Structure 1
Amino acid sequence: MKYKYPYGPGRREYESEFTQFLNGYLRQHPEVRRDQVLGWRIFWERPVDPQRIDRERDAELKPTVYHSYFYE
Protein backbone atom coordinates (compact mmCIF):
# COMPACT_ATOMS: atom_id res chain seq x y z
CA MET A 1 0.00 0.00 0.00
CA LYS A 2 1.46 3.33 -1.06
CA TYR A 3 1.07 6.17 1.42
CA LYS A 4 -0.27 9.40 -0.03
CA TYR A 5 0.27 12.63 1.84
CA PRO A 6 -3.20 14.12 2.44
CA TYR A 7 -2.16 17.74 1.82
CA GLY A 8 -1.13 18.05 -1.81
CA PRO A 9 -1.27 20.87 -4.32
CA GLY A 10 -4.95 20.23 -4.98
CA ARG A 11 -5.96 19.96 -1.33
CA ARG A 12 -5.23 22.66 1.20
CA GLU A 13 -6.85 22.47 4.58
CA TYR A 14 -5.81 25.79 6.11
CA GLU A 15 -4.05 28.90 4.92
CA SER A 16 -3.45 31.76 7.33
CA GLU A 17 -4.50 35.33 6.57
CA PHE A 18 -0.87 36.35 6.36
CA THR A 19 -0.10 33.61 3.82
CA GLN A 20 -3.12 34.64 1.77
CA PHE A 21 -1.99 38.27 1.89
CA LEU A 22 1.58 37.40 0.93
CA ASN A 23 0.52 35.15 -1.95
CA GLY A 24 -1.86 37.84 -3.23
CA TYR A 25 0.82 40.51 -2.95
CA LEU A 26 3.31 38.38 -4.87
CA ARG A 27 0.71 37.72 -7.59
CA GLN A 28 0.07 41.47 -7.94
CA HIS A 29 3.77 42.42 -7.78
CA PRO A 30 5.85 39.90 -9.79
CA GLU A 31 8.88 42.21 -9.65
CA VAL A 32 9.29 41.31 -5.97
CA ARG A 33 9.72 37.64 -6.88
CA ARG A 34 12.25 38.58 -9.59
CA ASP A 35 14.22 40.64 -7.05
CA GLN A 36 14.20 37.70 -4.64
CA VAL A 37 15.56 35.37 -7.31
CA LEU A 38 18.23 37.90 -8.30
CA GLY A 39 19.31 38.31 -4.68
CA TRP A 40 19.43 34.55 -4.23
CA ARG A 41 21.61 34.16 -7.33
CA ILE A 42 24.01 36.89 -6.22
CA PHE A 43 24.49 35.23 -2.84
CA TRP A 44 24.49 31.52 -3.73
CA GLU A 45 25.44 31.06 -7.38
CA ARG A 46 29.09 32.03 -7.37
CA PRO A 47 31.70 30.72 -9.79
CA VAL A 48 33.73 27.84 -8.39
CA ASP A 49 37.51 28.30 -8.33
CA PRO A 50 39.14 24.89 -7.68
CA GLN A 51 42.51 26.47 -6.84
CA ARG A 52 40.92 28.66 -4.17
CA ILE A 53 39.18 25.64 -2.67
CA ASP A 54 42.51 23.79 -2.55
CA ARG A 55 44.23 26.78 -0.89
CA GLU A 56 41.51 27.05 1.75
CA ARG A 57 41.58 23.30 2.39
CA ASP A 58 45.38 23.34 2.80
CA ALA A 59 45.18 26.32 5.17
CA GLU A 60 42.81 24.54 7.57
CA LEU A 61 44.11 23.01 10.75
CA LYS A 62 44.72 19.33 10.31
CA PRO A 63 43.03 17.07 12.87
CA THR A 64 45.35 15.23 15.21
CA VAL A 65 45.00 11.85 16.83
CA TYR A 66 44.36 13.42 20.19
CA HIS A 67 42.75 16.59 21.44
CA SER A 68 43.84 17.70 24.87
CA TYR A 69 44.21 20.88 26.84
CA PHE A 70 47.09 21.52 29.18
CA TYR A 71 46.96 24.30 31.73
CA GLU A 72 50.20 25.51 33.24
Structure 2
Amino acid sequence: MFKNTKYVSDFTQFMQGYLHEHPDVARGQVEGRALLWDKSPINLDERSRNTQSAVAQKPYPYQPE
Protein backbone atom coordinates (compact mmCIF):
# COMPACT_ATOMS: atom_id res chain seq x y z
CA MET A 1 0.00 0.00 0.00
CA PHE A 2 2.62 2.54 1.06
CA LYS A 3 5.97 2.38 -0.61
CA ASN A 4 9.10 3.22 1.36
CA THR A 5 11.34 4.85 -1.25
CA LYS A 6 14.18 5.54 1.21
CA TYR A 7 14.98 1.88 1.93
CA VAL A 8 17.67 0.25 -0.19
CA SER A 9 18.55 -3.39 0.49
CA ASP A 10 22.11 -4.51 1.18
CA PHE A 11 22.20 -6.45 -2.07
CA THR A 12 21.02 -3.45 -4.09
CA GLN A 13 23.67 -1.29 -2.46
CA PHE A 14 26.31 -3.92 -3.23
CA MET A 15 25.25 -4.24 -6.88
CA GLN A 16 25.09 -0.48 -7.41
CA GLY A 17 28.57 -0.09 -5.93
CA TYR A 18 29.96 -3.02 -7.91
CA LEU A 19 28.55 -1.76 -11.21
CA HIS A 20 29.84 1.74 -10.45
CA GLU A 21 33.35 0.35 -9.87
CA HIS A 22 33.21 -2.10 -12.82
CA PRO A 23 31.48 -0.41 -15.80
CA ASP A 24 32.79 -3.13 -18.14
CA VAL A 25 30.31 -5.60 -16.59
CA ALA A 26 27.33 -3.61 -17.89
CA ARG A 27 28.90 -3.46 -21.37
CA GLY A 28 29.43 -7.22 -21.27
CA GLN A 29 25.78 -7.75 -20.38
CA VAL A 30 24.68 -5.66 -23.36
CA GLU A 31 27.03 -7.55 -25.70
CA GLY A 32 25.81 -10.91 -24.37
CA ARG A 33 22.20 -9.93 -24.87
CA ALA A 34 22.91 -8.82 -28.43
CA LEU A 35 24.68 -12.11 -29.13
CA LEU A 36 21.98 -14.40 -27.74
CA TRP A 37 18.65 -12.58 -27.89
CA ASP A 38 18.59 -9.59 -30.23
CA LYS A 39 17.76 -10.72 -33.75
CA SER A 40 18.22 -8.92 -37.06
CA PRO A 41 15.10 -7.71 -38.88
CA ILE A 42 13.22 -10.34 -40.88
CA ASN A 43 13.37 -10.10 -44.65
CA LEU A 44 9.77 -10.89 -45.59
CA ASP A 45 10.56 -11.72 -49.23
CA GLU A 46 13.20 -14.25 -48.24
CA ARG A 47 10.91 -15.75 -45.59
CA SER A 48 8.11 -16.10 -48.14
CA ARG A 49 10.44 -17.85 -50.64
CA ASN A 50 11.66 -20.23 -47.95
CA THR A 51 8.11 -21.09 -46.92
CA GLN A 52 6.98 -21.70 -50.51
CA SER A 53 10.01 -23.82 -51.40
CA ALA A 54 9.72 -26.11 -48.37
CA VAL A 55 9.12 -29.76 -49.22
CA ALA A 56 6.19 -31.32 -47.39
CA GLN A 57 7.22 -34.11 -45.05
CA LYS A 58 5.19 -37.27 -44.62
CA PRO A 59 3.52 -37.65 -41.22
CA TYR A 60 5.69 -40.62 -40.23
CA PRO A 61 8.89 -40.77 -42.30
CA TYR A 62 10.05 -44.14 -40.92
CA GLN A 63 6.99 -46.07 -42.07
CA PRO A 64 7.90 -48.26 -45.06
CA GLU A 65 5.51 -48.10 -47.95
- What TM-score results when the alignment is normalised by the length of structure 1? 0.51
One-letter amino acid of the counterpart of residue 17, structure 1 = D
- Greater RCO, CA 8 A, separation 6+: 2
Runs of 4+ in 1 over 6 A off after TM superposition: none
Q: Which runs of 5+ in 2 are unaligned?
A: 55-65
One-letter amino acid of the counterpart of residue 42, structure 2 = D
- What TM-score results when the alignment is normalised by the length of structure 2? 0.55
Instruction: Give the structure 1 partner of residue 60 of structure 2.
Output: none
CA RMSD in angstroms comes to 2.5
**1:49 counterpart = 2:42:** yes
Q: Which runs of 5+ in 1 are unaligned?
A: 1-5, 60-72
- Percent identity, please: 40
